[in-house]
Chain A
Amino acid sequence: MSLEEISKAIIDLRYDVTCSLVKEAIAQRVDPMKILIELRKGMEEIGQRYETGELFLADLIMAGEIMKGATDLLRPHLTGQADIPGHRVVLGTIEGDLHDIGKDIVATILTSSGFDVRDLGIDVPPRRFVEEAQKTKARLVGISALLSTAVPRCRDVVTELEKRALRKKVKVIAGGAAVREEHMLAFGVDGAVNDAIKGLEIMKKWTV
């Protein structure tokens, strides 16, 4: 098999084929990092096709499921190797909001682009974002909020960072359907988007 088959299988949204190929590559003692890079290449293509409107949200979710299945197979073989390259992001849906589809898509896209995502889940209290950033030395915090009632709570994460004198070290981005650009000023965050791909672009710029 060639490694390109792996990225092709993920682009074709074939769960079983992708996982079989990953298993085969592992059995053939292919460098796990090379397999991971190939998976990411596929995800990158998926992201681009989504951005141009060729693919739909369900396709992105399916690709995320495949990526998760494939990396689960790969993870034990990555032990002992150097950290997955990338930057650490603390991610979660803010307290009071329990929507996770958007947040999970962002997690997939970020992971595929080489970010190290610490996903705190849903209904996350503001201090938890900051505690995790402090603990993991993350320099990026991503807050997901779909409900209009939840968006103003992004301010509480910023306040918590200020309290712990971490504000200057950590960039904060808010994302979700009700999030608007003016929320940057209103709630003191550094970025505000309602599109996962735009969020990725902003975070990439921050880590250059």
Chain B
Amino acid sequence: MIPRERVLKTIQHQEPDRVPLDEAYYSFSLQSPEGRQKLMRTIGLSDVDGVKDFLGIDLRDLFMMPSETFMGQAVYKEPPWIWVHELPGNRYRDEWGIEYEIGATGEYFHYVHHPLEALEKIDDYQFLDLNASGRFETAEEQMRRWSGKYAICGHMEATLFEQAWYLRGFRRLIRDLYDNEAFCESLFDKLLEFRLEQAKRWVELGVDIIRLGDDFGTQTGMLISLATWRRYFKPRMKKLIDAIKKSRLYVFYHSDGCIERLIPELIEIGVDILNPLQPECNNIERIKREFGTRLTLHGTVSVQRTLPFGTIEDVENEVRSRLKICAPGGGLILAPCHAVGPDVTIEKLITLYRCAQNYGKYPLRI
């Protein structure tokens, strides 16, 4: 069975030849450049696509690129895993005008400037031009290469809330939610307009799935109340999903943390695939039992405990347990829950995929 068929079948809640697999969190999954090199050396392959095939990864992600003009002076920086302009003092600026600083160990970054932080009116900010030259050429080329073989995802995560706080600043946006509602409404409307247009481009390119997402979960509960989510985000997300679904595409939704309370409403507005379902924060068994016939679970393998702190045997046990609980009837795409950090050994990463390929064959015998 080809990877695309495998993925689509599981989303339709049928059992393919084996449980489809995905990488952790797009480009993060293969760790740092050094981690990637080590992984390639370990399995004896020299290209990323080959590594993904070896691991059994059935999906491929397409990203929108910065404009040709921005790319003129841009460098690809890991972290923050995007194209940026270098600024003095270990700082970097992306095309949106958001600035980043890299931490002392070089493994992570934080935001140091938000272009909307001091703005009163959203109209004073120039959003990215989706028609700019260079925006989708890379995606078109990748589409030609991957189309038909893999399930292709058009990337639009950080859809509304996250992109809003990248632009406005986290605390500032949280404050706006309470006492600057007009600003919130116009910012989210503007972002929705942008995302609707961006979705059209992915539809035109012929992707199978559109990846949406905003982190609304914390370790133990929701970041904001359901009432706030319903007020600002649910109607806009519905509008976006309705537009995507007119073209019969599947909708993937990402939110870190504990989001069990959101699940019925995400299903209601049309989400087909939910990621990453961190097992430390959510009851995976209950979610499969209650929503498993309407929702495909994506992720589910612990990056907070098992992968960094567990043994090889722990990884095997977790994969087997997840397959046993979530794979029956399809509706599971297994992957690490999030970025696989440099503290996860290559052996554990390979074990995850090897084990999933071995035990994830249908009919299941676990």
Q: Which residues of A contact B (CB under 8 A)?
A: 13-16, 53, 56-59, 61-62, 65, 95-101, 122-123, 125, 147-149, 152, 177-178, 180, 194-195
Contacts and interface: CB of A to CB of B under 8 A. Distances in A.
Given A65-B174, A96-B104, A148-B309, A56 B303 contact: no
A91 B37 CA distance: 37
B225 interface: yes
A115 B79 CA distance: 35
Contacts of A125: 104
Given A57-B223, A58-B223, A96 B174 contact: no
B179 A96 contact: no
A76 B224 CA distance: 34
B103 A123 contact: yes
Given A96-B104, A97-B103, 7 more contacts: A15-B179, A56-B228, A98-B108, A123-B104, A148-B308, A152-B343, A177-B219
Contacts of A58: 174, 177, 223-225, 228
Nearest to A186: B309
Nearest to A50: B221
The 4 closest A-B pairs by CB, nearest first: A98-B110, A96-B105, A148-B308, A58-B224
A53 B304 contact: no
Chain A: interface secondary structure?
loop
Contacts of B110: 98-100, 122-123
B231 interface: no
B341 A147 contact: yes
B308 A96 contact: no
Interface string B309-332: 100000000000000000000000
Nearest to A178: B304
A61 B223 CA distance: 10
B197 interface: no
A188 B230 CA distance: 44
Given A58-B228, A96-B107, A98-B110, A15 B219 contact: no
Interface string B209-229: 000000000111111110010
Given A65-B171, A148-B341, A13 B178 contact: yes
Most buried by B among A99, A149, A180, A194: A149
A65 B170 CA distance: 12
A12 to B, nearest CB: 10
A56 B221 contact: yes
Contact of A149 (B171, B280, B343): B343
B221 A147 contact: no
Interface in B4-53: none
A56 B222 contact: yes
B264 interface: no
Contacts of B342: 149
Contacts of B103: 95-98, 122-123
A95 B220 CA distance: 25
30 contacts: A13-B178, A14-B179, A15-B175, A16-B179, A56-B225, A56-B228, A57-B224, A58-B177, A58-B223, A58-B228, A59-B225, A61-B171, A61-B174, A62-B177, A65-B171, A95-B104, A95-B105, A96-B103, A96-B108, A98-B108, A98-B109, A98-B110, A99-B110, A100-B110, A101-B170, A123-B110, A148-B308, A149-B105, A149-B342, A149-B343
A64 B101 CA distance: 25
B305 interface: yes
Contacts of B308: 148-149, 178
A166 B177 CA distance: 45
Given A58-B224, A96-B104, A100-B110, A180 B341 contact: no
Nearest to B217: A57
Interface in B271-313: 280, 303-305, 308-309
A101 B171 CA distance: 9
A8 to B, nearest CB: 16
Contacts of A15: 175, 178-179
Interface string B184-223: 0000000000000000000000000000000000111111
Contacts of B309: 148, 180
A37 to B, nearest CB: 24
